[in-house]
Structure 1
Amino acid sequence: MDLHTVVEVVSPAAVGQWRPGDAWLAGGTALFAEPQTDVTRLLDLVAAGWTPITVHGHGLEIAATCTVADLAGYAGAEHFTAFHELATACCRAFLASFKIWNVATVGGNLCAALPAGPMIALTAALDGECLIFGPDGERRLSVTRFVTGDGATALAAGELLRSITLPAAALTGRTAFRQGSLFAHGRSAVLLIGRRDGAGLVLTVTAATVRPFQLSFAEVPDAGELAAAVRATIPDDAYVDDVHGLPAWRRHLTARYAEEIRAELAG
């Protein structure tokens, strides 16, 4: 979609250049998807040339401008087995063409904050921490706190998402992935990821809910304990209600997939 109100593009852009009427531009797949009548200037982040994925001693840092294709094709850090398993599954959850994979970015998916965003699921499940740049400096926030609702994030005016760091401790070990949709090739209506964390279990719920929810257990719970924890953690009004699925159905699938993941990772 043409953004007919835009009169200037700043490339490359920096944090201090932001002013009312600006929008940060990375892949643009969300920005150009609907009218943006209040946007008069685009600040180009891709031209900044951030390295898509960087390996650190403490884990992986994924630039906000890292494309889905970059993520799916990344073959480094082979010992981070959980990352590679989940990255592949979450990239496929886009159900998008190679054209979208080559343009859409990890950061854009988080900032769009759509419940079905698979990059939200990936980074939340792997305990991702967002690095945020803004006029007042930088701050860090977990992915589960960064996405605050359907289409809403914790970003303040003038702030941008620079990168997401995944800690090494979360990038290995066994994982389990479940995705549900009303259609064989439809948007994710429920997406759950489980991860063994030592003797315990970490369960992340996305797509079914307006924001990501994460449940952590010191030891793998039994079926009853898990079901009770899911009910206590996710309020009924947090389940999404749209054409891709009713809240009751999403709640049912969430409980079913949670138990499947528990049983799979308990073995």
Structure 2
Amino acid sequence: MAESKMAETLLEVEGIETCYGLSQVLFGLSLCVHAGEMVALMGRNGMGKTTTIRSIMGMTAARSGTIRFAGEQVRSLPSYKIAKLGIGLVPEGRQIFPNLTVYENLVAASGNRAGNPDPWTIEKIHALFPRLAERSSNMGVTLSGGEQQMLAIGRALMTNPKLLILDEATEGLAPLIREEIWNCLSMLKGRGQSVLVIDKNVANLSRIADRHYIIERGRTVWTGTSEQLIAEPDLQHRYLGI
């Protein structure tokens, strides 16, 4: 990655603490994503990965710490305003609109607020995921899990985000669909799309991600490059159960 891109911090999370009622989940967690970078957020189930995403998006407000996106403090903003700044979310469980068609799902929140010079269009999404073109008039509720994940990614890309966030990118998907999603992420990396991704597949994440954060019980316990992660199998066993 070019140093000029590395110098520009797109997302900066510093020392956030987040609770659900009286139960604290995040304890001073920090991470950052540079422009054009793909970053993986890793850890066992229940360690705070989804809560981190919810805090970034304002869905579960952090009670302290700093969250900056494109230089703007966003910790106190409502979710819709954070999304409008240029974050596209592919949430855990996909959460597509079940009573809209595939086409309607894709155009429902489409836009190019960030001024992408090569914006995503329906045609480009169909080229990326031909199955969505075949299912264009189908209701969201009729899609398979893999098709719903493709649709969730397509819907997020149609907002032309500065940062794409994927929570459990390939969880529960058939092997062929998983491979299609990884190919999609590789293509996005090639386009220079900034990505923050949660997934459990260390091999694929190490192949395409620039850096990794491992969290344990709501704290960042390790960060490093793919090369460093591959070189530390004991680390993977300790924190990822591999």
The reply to whether TM is greater than 0.5 is no
More helix by share: 2
Name the TM-score, length of structure 1 as normaliser: 0.26
Give 1 or 2 for the bigger CA radius of gyration: 1
Name the TM-score, length of structure 2 as normaliser: 0.28
- If asked which structure has higher relative contact order (CA below 8 Å, sep 6+), I would say 2
